């Protein structure tokens, strides 16, 4: 591989175009060489908007096989992730697959098996919160140990508006997967037991139960609560509190900090706070850092340090799937199968 990585992006939705714009703004060692989307007019429009020499394809697999690209970002809809990732592995190309690796464990297992049979690591999964300065500061603080043991965590994850046409399980497999990934990454402990709960549902969204409450216990006994509200209307709001023996440690709770030119005004007995409309401004620094780390690592023939690997992503999908089973069983408390059992087909 040369010292310039020619990147192809599959999917021109919210994340595909966000990655494309980030590449077009400049990432050291990388150029955007191709864009694929089944709606090729959208790929053409994005390529024209960004300018330069960008090939377009209506078929992601054709782009993977074209020889035009050295590495691929997959930002197609979730059900296509596993198949397209498998095609990149078959072609020997480094791949950054947007989360989740797959909505179901069965699909994810096949990709992990393929990755492990290859003998070299090519797959990174885009759980970008691992690159967020706030979550990194939480992890560093926890590792320093000055606050005593971690006892509980409380997370909140709210979106302004639900994606249309998805059901309650997508709240878990598409949204909660971020917490399911990042909480074990923070604590260093696997989630071994889960329970789903819900109370009164919003009348503003018919197709899924909103909000939902997820309870997860890890192998150190730490209990994690995660509240998901995907149709919260007021703003994109992500919170995380670590309850330790001698301190509570939180992400900055006011996301106005995400835009450098925003301020919070306390005046006339009131306090203003601006919320982002979605995750792109909130996690802009994380997406840029993730992309830069992935490009640098791919050029060096390795995986980016600290990013989610194939096994990490499989574990997340297995926990998410167990939560969906709990939901379908009316909130049963369920053990999470081990990865070995999942990989060997025993679970």
Q: Contact positions toward ligand ISE, by CB under 6 A?
A: 159, 174-175, 178, 279
Q: How far is the CB of 129 from ligand ISE (least distance, A)?
A: 8
Longest dimension (CA), the chain: 64
Scan for tokens 């970008």, then name that residue: 128
Nearer to ligand ISE, 159 or 309 (CB): 159
Neighbours of 209 (CB within 10 A): 19
In the bound state with ligand ISE, the residue whose beta carbon lies nearer, of 178 and 315, is 178
Beta bridge partners of 5: 30
**CB 58, min distance to ligand ISE, A:** 24
| DSSP character at residue 249 | E
Return d(Cα 108, Cα 193) in angstroms, integer: 20
- Of 174 and 316, CB closest to ligand ISE: 174
Measured between alpha carbons, how far apart are the two ends of the chain, in Å?
40
Q: In this complex, which beta carbon is closest to ligand ISE, that of residue 219 or of residue 278?
A: 278
Helices 14-25 and 40-50: angle between axes, nearest 10 degrees: 20
Do the strands 123-126 and 95-98 form a parallel or antiparallel pair, or are they unpaired? parallel
Which three-class secondary structure state does DSSP give residue 109? helix
> Of 135 and 279, which CB lies nearer to ligand ISE in the complex structure?
279
> How far apart (Å, rounded) are the C-alpha atoms in residues 307 and 110?
20
Residue in the shown chain whose Cβ atom is closest to ligand ISE: 175
Least Cβ distance, residue 67 to ligand ISE (angstroms): 31
């Amino acid at each position: 591989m040369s010292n310039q990585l020619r990147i192809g992006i599959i999917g021109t939705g919210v994340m595909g175009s966000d990655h494309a714009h980030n590449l077009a703004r400049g990432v050291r060692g990388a150029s955007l060489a191709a864009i694929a989307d089944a709606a090729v007019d959208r790929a053409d429009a994005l390529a024209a908007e960004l300018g330069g020499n960008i090939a377009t394809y209506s078929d992601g697999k054709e782009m993977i096989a074209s020889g035009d690209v050295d590495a691929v970002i997959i930002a197609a809809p979730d059900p296509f992730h596993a198949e397209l990732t498998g095609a990149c592995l078959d072609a020997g190309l480094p791949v950054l697959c947007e989360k989740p690796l797959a909505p179901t464990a069965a699909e994810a297992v096949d990709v992990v098996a393929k990755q492990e049979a290859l003998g070299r690591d090519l797959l990174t999964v885009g759980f970008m919160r691992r690159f967020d300065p706030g979550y990194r500061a939480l992890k560093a603080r926890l590792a320093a140990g000055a606050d005593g043991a971690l006892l509980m965590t409380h997370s909140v994850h709210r979106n302004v508006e639900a994606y249309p046409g998805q059901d309650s399980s997508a709240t878990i497999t598409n949204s909660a997967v971020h917490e399911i990934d990042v909480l074990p990454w923070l604590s260093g402990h696997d989630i071994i037991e889960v329970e789903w709960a819900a109370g009164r549902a919003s009348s503003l969204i018919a197709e899924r139960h909103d909000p939902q409450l997820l309870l997860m216990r890890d192998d150190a006994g730490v209990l994690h609560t995660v509240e998901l509200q995907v149709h919260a209307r007021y703003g994109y709001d992500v919170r995380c509190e670590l309850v330790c023996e001698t301190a509570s440690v939180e992400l900055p709770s006011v996301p106005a900090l995400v835009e450098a030119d925003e301020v919070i005004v306390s005046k006339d007995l009131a306090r203003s706070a601006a919320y982002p409309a979605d995750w792109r401004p909130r996690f802009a620094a994380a997406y840029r850092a993730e992309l830069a780390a992935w490009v640098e690592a791919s050029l060096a023939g390795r995986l980016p340090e600290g990013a989610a690997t194939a096994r990490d992503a499989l574990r997340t999908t297995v926990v998410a799937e167990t939560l969906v089973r709990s939901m379908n069983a009316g909130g049963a408390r369920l053990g999470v199968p081990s990865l070995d059992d999942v990989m060997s087909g025993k679970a």
